Chain A
Amino acid sequence: MLEIIDIYKTFNKGTVNEKVALNGVSLKLNDGDFCTVIGGNGAGKSTMLNAVAGVWPVDSGAILIDGENVSALPEHKRAPYLGRVFQDPRMGTVADMEIIENLAIAARRGDRRGLSWGVKKSEREAYREMLARFDLGLEDRMSTKVGLLSGGQRQAITLLMATIKKPKVLLLDEHTAALDPKTAVKVLELSDEIIEENHLTALMVTHNMKDAITHGNRLIMMSDGKIILDISGEDKKALTVDGLLKKFEEASGSKLENDRMLLAD
């Protein structure tokens, strides 16, 4: 479903701030794979997701979605294939538009935006049902401006927006990192449900090793812009935090440098 072939990306090339962010990353996700991504600070996790999303062009390599080469497509033209949820809950929604308007914008991802109504009457009922499932009381506040909601509520809406039109690949970029622990658990549960129900292919970056182990059917670990571990199937199910740390040290020859990650559990 998603195929990343040997991609490289260097930021600020030729300056003192030069940073090799992706150093030959290759990854193939099969249809329905739910892959978690962990790694130290600056390992290239978010950079890899941004490369897939087309935030900027990669230096070399190719990205294929469902067999189609999307490497040359700018961000908004790649959007039809992708659902994205960001770390900052404010980033995925428009604060001064209503909940229902936000959902309607997402429901038209990849469509030509013409002169028919931005929100049709018939959509309202469908959105109400979708929101009711979240059990956050949002279905009765559909005309509320999103800016008035909490971070968790906004993230739940972003998650719904990312999947309201089934994406080929769902990209979750530390989407629970900015939430309080209780809300984070709730949003993660929602993510699991939605991914399973719609049989989505997903990449989820997290700094929480436990979450990385308990969610998804596959786990990759990144270091210095490369994938250094790729665990799936029964190995993934048997994984523990200690085992994972040991594997990391073996694979990278160094201790894991991610203060947030070690504190996370």
Chain B
Amino acid sequence: MMSGILSYFSSLNPLTFLSQLPGNIAQGIIWGLMGLGVFITYKLLDFADLSVDGSFATGGAVTAVLIIAGVPVWAAVLIAMLAGIIAGLVTGFLHTVLGIPGILAGILTQIALYSINLNIMGKANVPVSYRNYDLLLSASNINMAIIIGLVLVAVVIILMYWYFGTEQGSAIRSTGSNPSMSKAQGINISTMKVIALALSNGLVALSGSLFAQYQGFADINMGRGAIVIGLAAVVIGTVIGEGIFKKGMNFILRLFFVVVGAVLYYIAMGLVLWLKMPTDDTKLFTAVVVAVFLAVPYLQDKSKTSFKKVAKRSAKLLTWNDGEGDENA
């Protein structure tokens, strides 16, 4: 038993983990863009949009197929984003025009995209290697991938900071926060929801496009569970950002920490894989991480005012009063 544990630890080489770290960071940055898309729907619009599992793969699929067809990589990326935007429009249409509840509308788009993605690619997996094509980034040059990823993240964060400060962006935020007030102020909340869903899925598709290039192939299953990773980025980033900046957490920091959350998630993922956790269990790990980070703020809040504490305090008070009463008697 003891020797088993020892041999397990001696088989772990810290250098292996460290050598994998840049790759984890690069992946985290790329998924950070996806997290920013989820941030728009989940945090600003208060809409749990599950279409992203589909639109992430759509981004990858469109990019791979177009690059192979000879389309310049920048155009392929833009068209992939456009495909994501259209996916978001469909979810918005299902929800606002046909009255389908948000979560269901997202699931419908997601499942429809599975077939559409297969049709785009013609098969389940399309390799697009840096050896044969000009790509924006690739795992073959991780440092470059990190730099390009960071530049794109910076551009997206600046654009989001600007957009959500405009009249239209403010209207989207108020729609998510108080729809009845928004209507009373003349805001067409259906339009705002559709715009936000389109922008979100456009970002998600951008992330999928970059990820396909990074790993050198697009795969029909690359988006499976993407929503949970996006949520992981948002909730990890929010909890940590608020832990550091407390009330000083402004909008641009919130956006920045979504990307931080994604990077930390991928580092944690690299860590558990380094600890030789079976790859089959990674989704389980992800679910547990997201559950923990969603629960932390709730439990913290609850611990401030809990019935258990009241029970203790009131019990103390009563026994104390009893004692006093006896003295008087």
Contact = CB atoms under 8 A, between A and B. Distances in A.
B91 interface: no
A92 interface: yes
A105 B165 CA distance: 11
B329 interface: no
B278 interface: no
B177 interface: yes
Contacts of B184: 53, 75, 79, 82, 84, 92
Interface string A60-80: 000000000000000111011
Interface residues of B, number: 22
B168 interface: yes
B207 interface: no
A226 B34 CA distance: 55
A93 interface: yes
A94 interface: yes
A161 B183 CA distance: 13
B174 A92 contact: no
A79 B186 contact: yes
B170 interface: yes
A101 B170 contact: yes
Interface in A110-128: 110-111, 113-119
A95 interface: yes
A105 B168 contact: no
A105 B171 contact: yes
Given A79-B185, A84-B184, A105-B185, A94 B174 contact: yes
B173 A94 contact: yes
Contact of B170 (A76, A82, A111, A118): A118
Contacts of A108: 167, 185-186
Q: Which of B163, B168, B189 has the most CB of A within 10 A?
A: B168
What size tier do the contact residues of chain A reach? 20 to 34
A186 B186 CA distance: 28
Interface string B107-122: 0000000000000000
A115 B174 contact: no
A109 B169 CA distance: 15
Contact of A118 (B165, B180, B185): B165
Interface in B146-201: 163, 165-171, 173-174, 177-178, 180-189
A106 B185 contact: yes
B180 A91 contact: yes
A257 interface: no
Interface of B: 163, 165-171, 173-174, 177-178, 180-189
Q: Which 4 A-B pairs have the closest CB atoms?
A: A79-B186, A118-B170, A113-B167, A109-B186
Given A119-B170, A161-B185, 11 more contacts: A75-B183, A75-B184, A80-B186, A86-B180, A91-B178, A94-B178, A95-B178, A105-B170, A113-B168, A114-B168, A115-B168
Interface of A: 53, 75-77, 79-80, 82, 84, 86, 90-97, 101, 104-106, 108-111, 113-119, 161
